[in-house]
Amino acid sequence: MAEQKDSKSLGELFGELARETSTLIRQEVQLAQAEMTHKAATFGKNLAFVVVAGCLAFVGFQSLVAAAILALAQVVDPWLAALIVGGVLALIAVVLLIKAIGAMKNEGAAPKQTIETIKEDVQWAKKQVG
């Protein structure tokens, strides 16, 4: 009877482990790059909201200043219209600013998915060696 030689030598097993570990590390780096690219795009979008909020706040401030000037110059109805417009723009700016800052805080900078898969990979490697 011929013996089946399905068992691998220790050298072959370590070689296979090294190749698989190398492939795994490359895949983790690719995942981290993809995750950080996504985070950068999200941050950029939220930064745009902050810029828009700043512009609206500036316009709102200008309208409020115009309203104050009109109120002092002539105590009649035109200043009330400028005050309402300025107040609405300022309110929109506050809402956008709060939303953008909250989204930036919730997003975080760490690549969470990559960290989780690295932990799983470490557990897998321990099982392979042990």
Among 28-37, 42-51, 71-80, where is mean pLDDT lowest?
A: 71-80
Q: What is the pLDDT of residues 43-62, one digit of tens each?
A: 888 899 999 999 999 899 88
Q: What is the pLDDT of residues 81-95, one digit of tens each?
A: 777 777 887 899 999
pTM over 0.85: no
Q: Provide the pLDDT for residue 65.
A: 78
| Contacts of 62 by beta carbon, 8 Å cutoff, 6+ apart | 86
Mean residue pLDDT of the chain comes to 81
CA distance 91 to 60: 9
3-state secondary structure (DSSP) of residue 103: helix
How many percent of the chain have pLDDT more than 70?
Answer: 87
Number of continuous H segments (helices) and E segments (strands) in the chain: 3, 0
Handedness of CA 57, 58, 59, 62 (dihedral sign): positive
CA distance 101 to 8: 56
CA distance 68 to 43: 37
Radius of gyration of the chain (CA): 30
Q: Provide the pLDDT for residue 3.
A: 46
DSSP structural state of residue 77 = T
Task: Give 55 or 4, the one with higher predicted confidence.
Answer: 55
**Stretch 117-128: mean pLDDT, rounded?**
80
